[in-house]
Structure 1
Amino acid sequence: MARALFHRRRGYSRLSRTANRLWACRHCDERHTLDTIYSVEATSSASSHLERKHRITPSPATTESSESDVFRPAKRARYASVVEVSEIRELLVGHIVNADRPFSVFTERYLAEIFRRFEPSLASQIPWNRTSQRRQLQAIFASKKVLVKESMTAAISRIHLAFDLWTSGNNFAIMAVSGHFLNRKGIQQQRLLALARHQGDHSGDNLAATLVRVAEDWGITDRIGTLVSDNATNNDTCTTSFFSSINPCFTLQDTVDRRMRCYGHILNLVGRAFLRGEDDDVFEEESQRDSAAPGAQALASDLGGWRAHGPVGKLRNIVKFIRSSPQRSEAFQQLAKEADSEDNWLLHQESKAELRLTLSNDTRWNSTYLMIERALQKKSHLQSFLLQRQVSGDGQIPLEAHLTGDDWLVLVELKAVLEPLYRQTMLCQGWGEKGSQGYLWEVLSGLEYLLDKMEAWRIFFDTPSDEDIEQSQRYLLQQSQRTHRPRRGRAARARSPELNTQALPSHVQQEYSQGQVPTAVRLAALPSSARDHIRISVTTAWQKLNQYYTKLGASPLFAAAIILHPGRGVRWLEARWDSGDQLEWLRDAKEGLESFWIAWYRDTTPGSQPRPSSNEGRPPAKRSYSEYDDWMAMDLQRLQARSSEATEIERYLRLELPIPDVDPIEWWLEHKQQFPSLSRLALDLFSIPAMAADCERAFSLAKLTLTSQRLSMDPETLEMAQCLKNWIRRDAIMVGGIFFSPAAGLSEETML
């Protein structure tokens, strides 16, 4: 054996084409003097070569060995422990789930050979076929589900369910159910609980039956706080039926209180109303603005035509024309690169040549916003491309279908109107951190912000006054004179020469121009018809926004989340709702919070001990008492009794709020002793998501798994794979002894 090891260390062995074993000297190869390859049949030849040419001989302890010993594997067969094999099998399933690989991936010829060569003995102990991997998926899913259940049992808040429906690629109705809660450290958590097959119609009662099955399977029927879903009417029925099933004592109002409307869906409806919505009341109101205005039906027809063939319609047709042909796309990109290369100095902005045009679709309103935003970024490229094709005689896009200067002005205004909606969607669709971005308290404040913006746009696009027109004319005259005024030599100071913005590249002229264009100028520059169309669209969007703003009042929890946020407080609502009917909203918000707290959270155990008086331990002053002193003592007793009877809500509302830059969850955890029952309500509220966007994410990830080659996958397997993927990526479980994120801690505290 020692001789075999000696030869193996001093050379290489390979199998020739004739199936003969050959040996080559390592030392000769490293010195580039290799001129002879020896046959294994003559093992003495290799020894003679080493001794003769390199003066290397085996140690005296070397014993004779057979020819086959030279090529025997270097390591003894190693048999892994049960724990090690279990972890490896978990890692294999983790790879299949996380990378969306087929169950047969490890039987692929070359991958299997890699495993065999690196650790042949270990490879023989693990089943690699697709049936074994699927069986292992079932076992791992069952074991990890127990851990996720334990983490939810340890939650310090109620568990809020977000749900949505999806039709899979293999034509199954699938319901995604996601759980949101605070772990025992007060960190917001999200877990995909089910991607369950939904059978039957989509009535509210039938949806509730599927939800109840999921809740019972997880054993959380007594821990559920609220349901978050889109604004479909069947979800109203579903919420009522669901809570009535898990708690027959619930009244209709109890279920309405717990029906949380998805903020993202509200934003989607408002965006669609602006771009494509029609409201008969708005058309009627618009027709009555002017006696010469057309009737409501004519306005509706005119608006529809403008949306289809106006600036947005033109832009969509142009983008679709460019993107529908690889040759046109390539020509457009080449033109953009050439245009940017001519401006080889960029002051503060990256090149836009590599940006691709974005095409809108009919299902998502924000795709239209992104199309307009990208087109404005590449305006000069689009104009150059269309001009080039017009000059070349290519009449595929007629001149009347080109975007005019007025069209570009309209696109700028459309982007400005849609931008707040888009920013709110992006802000609240994620999982919040430290009580911000994506949780319940942002819904009401976000709608207030958007209502302010929409009301401002309605005023902005109204008919300009004579004063506005005169102001715009004066501004345009001044700009004209400034632009064409001749330069008279060098400026007096070399440090501050006069800046000629016309000499700058077009993409930076606006940033370096003197001042900002007045609002009246922007308004007057728009064609009157476009201004009217935008005003109608803004009013339609405002109506939709106001409709759902009103619906939020059905549940006291939206306003309660604002009141119990120490960075907002009731003073934020008082500042917003300060007149007329708004004062009633404020009263209802306070009463709704108190009623909900009394019904579901007020501690039934004896209250906290009364605080010691400030005079405790101080000897009483020696003085003679009179009738007046007795009267004052009685008054003091009444005040002390009233103070001790003050509820937690009353004591909270007396605090000096708001507190800037505060984490609401951390604040309530620190004040649990002061507000024992109110803090439980607050923590429950701050674990409610603003949107059901995590269900949409689950569907998007499921599409990556359920490719056209895997449509035979049954819904149960898809559910196990997607739930495990969510738990892995949220670092809720360890797979193979490791977390998915390298930064995740390995302690039980992190998991719970």
Structure 2
Amino acid sequence: MTNRRMRTGFVGFATLRARPCFSQRVPLHPPLITYASMPNAILAPDDTKPDKQRTHRVFEGSPVADSDPSTDESDRAKRPRLHYSAVPKARINIVRELSVGLIVDADLPFSVFTNPYFEQLVWQLDPQIASQVPWSRQSMSRHLNDVYHAKKSVVEQELSHALTKIHLGFDLWTSPNRYAIMAVTAHFLDRQGCHQMRLLALRRQLGCHSGENLACTLLEVVREWGLEDRVGVVVSDNAATNDACLQNFYPNLDSSMKAADVRARRMRCYGHVLNLVARAFLYGEDYEAFEAESQVLDLLSRQEEELRHWRKKGPVGKLHNIVKFVRSSPQRSELFKRVARENDETQGFQLAFESTAELEVMMDNNTRWNSTYLMISRALVKQNDLRAFLVHPDVEGSLPQEDILSADDWRLLGEVKHILEPFYLQTMRTQGWGRGDGNGRLWEVLTGVEYLLEHLEDWKLFYNDITDDTIRDSIEQVDETAQERPSRTRQRPARFNDCEVDLPSQRPQERVMPEHVSGTYTRPGRPAGVSAVADIGDDHRRYLRLCIMNAWQKLNEYYTKLGDSPLFAASIILHPGLGIRYLEINWATEEQLVWVRDAKTGLSRYIDKWYRPSVLQGSCEASTRGPAPMQSVAPDKPHEASDFRQWVMSRTSRATAAGSELDRYMRLESQETNDPVRWWMAHQGSFPVLSKLALDVFAIPAMATDCERSFSLAKLSLTSQRLSMSSTTLEALQCLKNWTRHGAVKLGSARLGRGDSDGVCDVVNLSSI
């Protein structure tokens, strides 16, 4: 036999494949010779084999054996890439990066390319590519590591060119393979003034979750990326260990930082605050103990006790039991849909109404923000279907009579939905990336808390007394007051009773409304949704009053903590459309005027301490190029111009640089702008120091939700069949996914990201390379 090997392919074809001649860098024969209908091919005599082996160094079982994927895996020898190839190396590298991109973006295992169907597919498309690219699981793992480090340098370069400081966000997560993982994200403005977010690490957290250990992991990530002198603030949830973490973290970056300086840079995740307030409203001050007990009862399958446990929380707990009853059995779920379809058919044709028959009831989840609000909202939509289902004779099993919701219970759930709705809307508004004037900017935190406090105070005053006569008198009095006061649609909160607030009129003209809708009009001074449930029972009013008080106390607690950092108030002052006038209007009592003064003082001191050195350095450099005016005062005593003269000059430059900038800015009228970042970039010449601080402030996100998003995406990669994945591999996968989806890097010739139109990426034709 010669060095050519015959094998039988599909439908009786015998195939002869030529071996390349390494001495002459050309194939010995044409690339592929096929003989049809030749069950017995006639080959050269076997005595030619030694000569061929000596000449071309091709032996039986050589690494250059045929690699057609139809060959048995056991018969096909492993081999490296051939030294001679008609495929350019650049094209091979692009294919490798694209293969890594497919694994990263689609959450596929590394062994996906060894699938026989994929091998056949690639072989049919391009046999040369199929034979030249290593597709094994080990090769893909090496490619991932190489690509990760190559693209990491690109992101490092982007961070070094950022317009602002690099603000960090971090959070902890327990992975499906029982690793403690810390996610670290970077937030900044790029040179174009666009808000950017990059995932820096999904690092395994070893040891206990103490503040010292968390700080060590965070420092490791910061030093790995070379950000020691560029770290701004840190956004995280409200756990006490995070406070201890930052008290250890910042002094390691700058030994001059005191405890108050660290608190100024400790940003509390707004979404986490809203979630804590909503849980306090629903479950009281002991909500953590309540949820922990519920989880224990669920794990132990003690259903009766769990039902009683939730029933203690009133109509919300009853609704939880009903939804769980419906969803706990496939038969019940199918019956519920059938009942909903029957109800939908009996209602007949309704113009502009969409059918809700196929909507599922939603289950609350203590780890998902706003899940109870969404459960109540969906239950109110499906109220008739739920009532019909619970009395249907075909229902499997039975729900205790104590869990059946009465008419008053449903009315109370409607009130709960109205009270919690602003919290849900605030979460949805501020959980995204800052664009234009809002949607995740820091200035929305303080204004949002003020808005929600006023919202709760309105409801608190409405449910202050639980008698029908008092409520009726209160509503009439509020209506009269509202008619006399032309500037408000709701009654003024208690903290504004002693001050006059000049706000634009927001009340619609009631007399121009059609008569057929005037009866459903919610009059000024009454919280939204109250008119429909004026006859709610006394017990339910007392229940709502207690819930509102719990929520107000929790929100007020974190409202007070916002004062630890001057940046929350500074974000409002530095917003050209709000400015100091916003604080002066909303903080108008004698006590609150002190808050306005503290906000101004805190901002001024922050600038002096952290943004002055760069100005002083610039002014000192400028002074060396020109005459020093004070040197002519006492030329015979040059030694006096050392410490004292430097101190005087530093105080002089303070008065003329940032101090005057802040004063000039505060004297400006409110500016009409939809994007404060663009405004400050356009006014950098007028406010060189203040604009730098303003841009840094507007790069701070309101929440640390990007860490949560990273955890959700990582869970898609860690399926039940990939739990042996190491934490370093998980980090590389998720970082590349984040960078590609945000447009920071591209893999191969494909670029994904928010900037692409319609989510389509441009792919270069590989054949042109």
- The alignment partner of 2:385 has SS state of helix
1:20 Cα deviation after fit: 7.7
In the other structure, the counterpart of 1:568 is 578
1:109 Cα deviation after fit: 0.8
Are residues 341 and 223 of structure 1, via their aligned partners in 2, closer, same or farther at CA, if it must alter by over 3 Å?
A: same
1:460 to 459, 462, 465: 462
- Once residues 745 and 555 of structure 2 are traced to their aligned partners in structure 1, the CA distance between those partners, rounded to angstroms, is 41
1:705 to 690, 705, 717: 717
- The alignment partner of 1:190 has SS state of strand
Deviations 1:723-747 (A, max 9, x none): 0010011010011122114954999
In the other structure, the counterpart of 2:236 is 229
Deviations 1:499-555 (A, max 9, x none): xxxxxxxxxxxx979424675754541111111111111101100100000001011
In the other structure, the counterpart of 1:534 is 544
Kept in 2: contact 1:79–1:122 (CA 8 A) = no
1:545 to 552, 555, 565: 555
Kept in 2: contact 1:322–1:332 (CA 8 A) = yes
1:432 Cα deviation after fit: 1.3
1:687 to 680, 691, 699: 699
In the other structure, the counterpart of 1:329 is 333
Q: Which blocks of at least 5 consecutive residues in structure 1 are unaligned?
A: 1-13, 22-37, 43-76, 281-303, 474-510, 610-641, 748-752
The answer on 1:654 being equivalent to 2:667 is: yes
Are residues 722 and 471 of structure 1, via their aligned partners in 2, closer, same or farther at CA, if it must alter by over 3 Å?
A: closer
- The alignment partner of 1:649 has SS state of helix
1:387 Cα deviation after fit: 2.7
Instruction: Give 2:520's aligned amino acid.
Output: G
Give runs of aligned pairs for residues 331-480 of structure 1, distance below 5 A. 331-364=335-368, 366-389=370-393, 396-463=398-465, 464=467, 466=469, 468-469=471-472
2:708 to 687, 696, 699: 696
1:435 Cα deviation after fit: 4.5
Q: Calculate the TM-score normalised by the size of structure 1.
A: 0.74
Q: Which blocks of at least 5 consecutive residues in structure 2 are unaligned?
A: 1-7, 16-34, 40-83, 288-307, 477-515, 623-654, 763-769
Higher Cα Rg, which structure: 1
In the other structure, the counterpart of 1:600 is 610
Are residues 469 and 440 of structure 1, via their aligned partners in 2, closer, same or farther at CA, if it must alter by over 3 Å?
A: closer
Give runs of aligned pairs for residues 112-127 of structure 1, distance below 5 A. 112-127=119-134
- The alignment partner of 1:151 has SS state of helix
Alignment coverage as a number of residue pairs: 590
Superposition RMSD on alpha carbons, in Å?
2.9
Are residues 267 and 608 of structure 1, via their aligned partners in 2, closer, same or farther at CA, if it must alter by over 3 Å?
A: farther
Are residues 19 and 645 of structure 1, via their aligned partners in 2, closer, same or farther at CA, if it must alter by over 3 Å?
A: closer
1:600 Cα deviation after fit: 1.3
Give runs of aligned pairs for residues 111-190 of structure 1, distance below 5 A. 111-190=118-197
1:349 Cα deviation after fit: 2.3
Are residues 388 and 697 of structure 1, via their aligned partners in 2, closer, same or farther at CA, if it must alter by over 3 Å?
A: same
Kept in 2: contact 1:208–1:242 (CA 8 A) = yes
Instruction: Give 1:442's aligned amino acid.
Output: E
Kept in 2: contact 1:577–1:585 (CA 8 A) = yes
Q: Calculate the TM-score normalised by the size of structure 2.
A: 0.73
Are residues 383 and 608 of structure 1, via their aligned partners in 2, closer, same or farther at CA, if it must alter by over 3 Å?
A: farther
Kept in 1: contact 2:743–2:755 (CA 8 A) = no
- Once residues 599 and 275 of structure 2 are traced to their aligned partners in structure 1, the CA distance between those partners, rounded to angstroms, is 26
Are residues 214 and 16 of structure 1, via their aligned partners in 2, closer, same or farther at CA, if it must alter by over 3 Å?
A: closer
1:388 Cα deviation after fit: 2.3
Are residues 549 and 517 of structure 1, via their aligned partners in 2, closer, same or farther at CA, if it must alter by over 3 Å?
A: closer
In the other structure, the counterpart of 1:515 is 520
Deviations 1:152-186 (A, max 9, x none): 00001000000011111111111000000000111
1:305 Cα deviation after fit: 7.6
Q: Which segment drifts farther, 347-356 or 413-422? A: 347-356
Q: Which has the higher contact order (CA 8 A, sep 6+)?
A: 1
Are residues 468 and 545 of structure 1, via their aligned partners in 2, closer, same or farther at CA, if it must alter by over 3 Å?
A: closer
1:363 Cα deviation after fit: 3.2
Give runs of aligned pairs for residues 205-244 of structure 1, distance below 5 A. 205-244=212-251
- Once residues 93 and 715 of structure 2 are traced to their aligned partners in structure 1, the CA distance between those partners, rounded to angstroms, is 29
The answer on 1:261 being equivalent to 2:257 is: no
The answer on 1:311 being equivalent to 2:311 is: no
Kept in 2: contact 1:272–1:365 (CA 8 A) = no
Q: Which segment drifts farther, 259-268 or 309-318? A: 309-318
In the other structure, the counterpart of 2:686 is 674
Are residues 522 and 719 of structure 1, via their aligned partners in 2, closer, same or farther at CA, if it must alter by over 3 Å?
A: same
Kept in 2: contact 1:435–1:686 (CA 8 A) = no
1:250 to 243, 254, 257: 257
User: What percentage of residue pairs aligned between the two structures are identical?
Assistant: 49
- Once residues 395 and 739 of structure 2 are traced to their aligned partners in structure 1, the CA distance between those partners, rounded to angstroms, is 59
- Once residues 96 and 608 of structure 1 are traced to their aligned partners in structure 2, the CA distance between those partners, rounded to angstroms, is 53
Deviations 1:639-667 (A, max 9, x none): xxx9999610000001111x334200000
Are residues 211 and 435 of structure 1, via their aligned partners in 2, closer, same or farther at CA, if it must alter by over 3 Å?
A: farther
The answer on 1:102 being equivalent to 2:100 is: no
Give runs of aligned pairs for residues 189-204 of structure 1, distance below 5 A. 189-204=196-211
